[in-house]
A and B are shown apart, each in its own frame.
Chain A
């Protein structure tokens, strides 16, 4: 009824016309990859993220200092031969901290997104597939969470529960599932009535099977695109939280925290902001480009 109209627009809003997709067979994987490769921006993005992941994994091998090792005597010195990116307030090597920071930022990004996607798919599936009071309750709950000013909620929870990586990941994930749920739900609604789903039901497939094997592959595209963008968003959100002093705490080297601290010294020791800032910027940018590339690659109509 009226809510259907809203949700159909939401689906369209992700630029993914799910209803139309249901009429096409799922794209062959090789096809998608070839289209993706043609988008130079997305490819560059993928490379940068690849580098970041590798750096995170092999961090001890490519750095020469302990990220927690302090040296107050050379506090805030700029880039030099011994310290490629310079040092921070306590004299810790910034190159080392930026490399280790990749671990933290990528972890936060991936896990927060994983949580958001997990919850989002579950809630979206339930509210899209089942009618009646289940649908109403889940929709109202989604509305409540959506209406919450996200940053405010995040800050409140963290202030109350305590700072730390786990809290930040949980909070970002718990506040990001709503859009995915809505997207997924709209897609399901559009697809539910199609012939192959009816056929599956006629044959006797269980609900879960129908959702998992027949609906999901057709409607996963907008979720994939959104999730990719969400990773970048989560990494940025962690930076914002650190700026407001409720993010990841010292002495963990997180890019967000380093950028927030570096901001105070923007004009006196710019390297403190520049190194982690550039890393943050490039990685988030990469996710943005990758999201673009995925969207174009997964939607044959745009080619």
Chain B
């Protein structure tokens, strides 16, 4: 008797459970204020006031650092971008280099010296003026040995850094500050014409003299740091919870000559991307980071309120050019065949749910100097050409062992590798997935232990050089030149470009360099990153920079 009841009750409960799940299936499409034709870019006059809760920047977890001298990630640098203004800045819409705290600069003919003239009216949030010595203090601080900063490499071009690294000096000899005349003179160790562009990076920020009171510089970011930007820290970093900024009332006005509209910006720190976006959908914040698998659906639901501009980032798989099976001039046709065989669109559609752009070259559009059609292979899929080239090379039978597809495990690359494996199978080429332990993956690739390896690159600054030199110059082998690419023609073009003052001419040289590398098929660029942020109706004038920063000082909340 009891058992019968047991079974029936069990069935009822099971049915209830199924019903709940079915409801979830229907409820998933439920609307939440979607489909406005508002482009979010222009929308009337700015309104001062309002507090923004941001759920997109730290949707994936807490950064290790947020201060200019230590931050090595875009997300970690976002608050800093609002708290400090540097010598220069790249326009968030066009990517063009603009003078910021420096009102102008000059250079010598061979691009080994730059003199920056600072504006007179720029002050710290405590009212004191920003001087050239503040920049010198900030830059020297980063390269100190005991500071052990991972981002000190940005200062490599500066004369005197090598001596500091070797322990022979405490400060970089190439920096000279003239506070009376508000000039900063920088001598470089080698010709580097894009140096002013690099000074737009957060690491080149000025640092307030309050820092001299600290015994341990690494503690600076645990307190309230003084900056000269549109916002200032309201309170110290609340770990794992939020970072809160409030308007800097002493702000000099910036390039558009106005104080920020929003009263405060609170960057909430989340742990799980899906939960963070659910929080945005529940109305807790005004911005949300779209989880990778939901891009197409969110874009449709929040039409007009999604920022998906192209970001200067590229996802690629490259060949170890020193590998006997795939590298070198002899195997060029094999590399071409593989490049033609990979179905980039399928990868973008399924793995990235449409949130990336198929890449036809290495450098993305949006970078000044970008030129279409650099890739002699075209960049698309052509299975017939692939087969033809493979045969010309010697046929699939010539490959004795399965080609290794190297990637860091647990970072979401397995599906991509699986698709590539299937693509190669269509050519008759056997490939095997070779996931590497995330810790040692890059070290091993640097040592040349990979064959067809995955990597990516996010630009540090809006400069063509940043995608060329660190990735493909022979000097960078053992560093970020994972594919062990070494081509004297490429090196010469890049070296010339670095010394070329005229940026237009320099970009042409970089174009040729990139074309050389793509002709050698050192890498197969798969896709370019795009923004993945959704925002609420009330938020206006949302501008995303090519480096994936947002101009919070230009946004306002419609009340």
Contacts and interface: CB of A to CB of B under 8 A. Distances in A.
Nearest to B2: A40
Contact of B346 (A72, A246, A263, A264): A72
Interface residues of A, number: 31
Contacts, number: 81
Contact of B350 (A44, A89, A245): A89
Interface string A28-46: 0000000000111100100
Interface stretch (B134-142, B221-229, B290-298): B290-298
Given A72-B349, A72-B419, A75-B350, A250 B414 contact: yes
A112 to B, nearest CB: 21
B437 A162 contact: yes
Contact of A72 (B274, B297, B343): B343
Interface string A86-124: 000111000000000000000000000000000000000
Interface string A244-269: 01100111000000000001111110
A89 B25 contact: no
A274 interface: yes
- Bin chain B's interface residue count: 20 to 34
A251 B433 contact: yes
A162 B439 CA distance: 11
Contacts of A89: 293, 350-351, 415
Interface of A is mostly: loop
Nearest to A38: B3
Given A75-B349, A90-B351, A268 B28 contact: yes
A39 B2 CA distance: 10
Interface centre among A72, A91, A251, A266 (most CB of B within 10 A): A72
A93 to B, nearest CB: 14
B410 interface: yes
B415 A268 contact: no
Contact of B6 (A40, A75, A263, A268): A40
A270 interface: yes
A30 B415 CA distance: 52
B293 A40 contact: no
A270 to B, nearest CB: 4
A171 to B, nearest CB: 16
A204 B527 CA distance: 77
B274 to A, nearest CB: 5
B63 interface: no
A217 to B, nearest CB: 29
Given A70-B418, A250-B414, A264-B274, A274 B7 contact: no
17 contacts: A44-B7, A44-B10, A68-B418, A70-B418, A73-B350, A76-B350, A89-B351, A90-B351, A163-B410, A250-B415, A264-B294, A265-B293, A266-B24, A266-B28, A268-B28, A270-B25, A271-B25
